[in-house]
Structure 1
Amino acid sequence: MKKVIIFDLDGTLFDTSKGIFNSIRFAIEKMDISNLAEERFPEFVGPPPVKAYQEIAGLSEDKARQATQYHRGYGKSKGIYEAELYPNMYQLLSDLTEKGFRLGVATLKRQDIAQEVLEHFKISQFFDVVIGMDFEDTLTKTDTINIVLKSLGVNKSQALMIGDTKGDFQGANNAGVDFIAVTYGFGFNQDTDYSTFVKQPLGIANNTLELKEIISKLSP
């Protein structure tokens, strides 16, 4: 029986693309990077920024950390206010808490920034725990999921994860929790092949209403 539902943040609760892409623009301007095509910006959604700037922009670790400081500085001051809560998400969260589910957030967005965006858009009250990246950038997606489980005192069989990217699904697989994929975010789409994953998703939602329908079959 599922008692806990863990949400990813970017691309699952919020469309944060405008703020993230503007954060990248600000960082690469500050770092004088001219060879990063905007077509690659969506690849920054999901992985920790330090890793993304290394792998996508080709920066050394030191320069990637410097770029990340610019990126997060813009995000904290401006970017989080450029997000949009997905349609019907507020009502879904309200319904889930009324039904007795406990809710958590597991994100690789830095924790203080994650908490601030939840508070700004007035949905923080729905979540029992919010776990994001630490200031040293040491956590993985699996780590954040496991910390949520530990914080709420539940085992992996009592929880499920909802996310929009391969990293979310792999993190859930590694943590041993079930997964629901959403295609309205940044990673998955209606043509995604899930056969390469160790465990198949419980369901695939193309919008928030479909997500509600999938969850309605579960009981807290």
Structure 2
Amino acid sequence: MDTSLPRETDAIVFDLDGTLWDTCETCAIGWNRVLDRHAIRFRPITADDVRGVAGKPHEQCIRETFGGVPEPQILTLIAETQLEDNRLVAEQGGVLYPHVEAGVRRLSARYPLFIVSNCQAGYIETFLAWSKLGPSFRDFECWGNTGRTKAENLGLLIARNGLRRALLVGDTAGDQAAARECGVPFVFVDYGFGVCRDADRSFSSFADLTSWLLADLRA
């Protein structure tokens, strides 16, 4: 595996959940509130339930988690958990992974930064406001805005911003597949939600990732 960073890299695109932060505890509270509000019979949702489907489009997360629930109630859950998640995350936030805040600020001084996610509309904006990292990112795209796959949304970001040599940083095999489909290098962070084999590069901390991405400045 080549451990060097191509000097021609012109942008870094980040996945969000499992890469920059974790909101599973907060989202579990929101999903339970929707269950209670509509008296939907189901067991209490835990953060591990949310974590088990994290990284997938929101509708898929709900359908996989609430198997056996009648379709009308599934549709209610899909619609209202999106709103409840955004509302609660705006109030309570999530957990930024160690060194993300400082690392993103350092990286944004060197590279244009972007976010691509399978999340619902409004969720990335909530992250940017709560984390106060909004000025560090140039653009973003998500499933909730377009209804498209992560690969398609990554392609939209690349085309819209005229990127020629971007790389994607993520935490799941789905992220890797999106990168491969778009023909960009994939950097895996193993502290998140997924497992990935054969990434172009892997890191166990955001600090190490940041150091690697900035190494060419010290050369």
Q: 1:118 is paired with a residue of what secondary structure?
A: helix
The answer to whether structure 1 residue 48 and structure 2 residue 57 are counterparts is yes
Deviations 1:91-147 (A, max 9, x none): 211211222x11100011123221122122110101110112235x62111122111
**Offset, 1:41:** 2.9
Partner of 1:129: 139
**Offset, 1:73:** 1.9
Aligned residues: 206
Unaligned runs of 5+ in 2: 1-7
Partner of 1:34: 42
Instruction: Give the alignment's TM-score, normalised by structure 1.
Output: 0.83
Give the letter for the 1:111 counterpart: A
Structure 1 vs Structure 2 CA RMSD: 2.3
Q: 2:187 is paired with a residue of what secondary structure?
A: strand
Pick aligned residue for 2:161 from 152, 173, 185: 152
Pick aligned residue for 1:83 from 88, 94, 100: 94
Question: Hey, what's the Cα distance between the residues in 2 that align with 1:138 and 1:42?
Answer: 22
Instruction: Give the alignment's TM-score, normalised by structure 2.
Output: 0.83
**If you compute each CA radius of gyration, which structure gives the higher value, 1 or 2?**
2
Map of 1:1-220 to 2, 5 A cutoff? 1-29=8-36, 30=38, 32-35=40-43, 38=46, 39-58=48-67, 59=69, 63-80=73-90, 81-99=92-110, 101-135=111-145, 138-155=147-164, 158-188=165-195, 194=197, 200-217=198-215
Question: Hey, what's the Cα distance between the residues in 1 that align with 2:31 and 2:203?
Answer: 29
Partner of 1:197: none
Q: 1:68 is paired with a residue of what secondary structure?
A: helix
Deviations 1:41-62 (A, max 9, x none): 3222111121122233225665
* Percent of pairs with identical residues: 21
Unaligned runs of 5+ in 1: 195-199
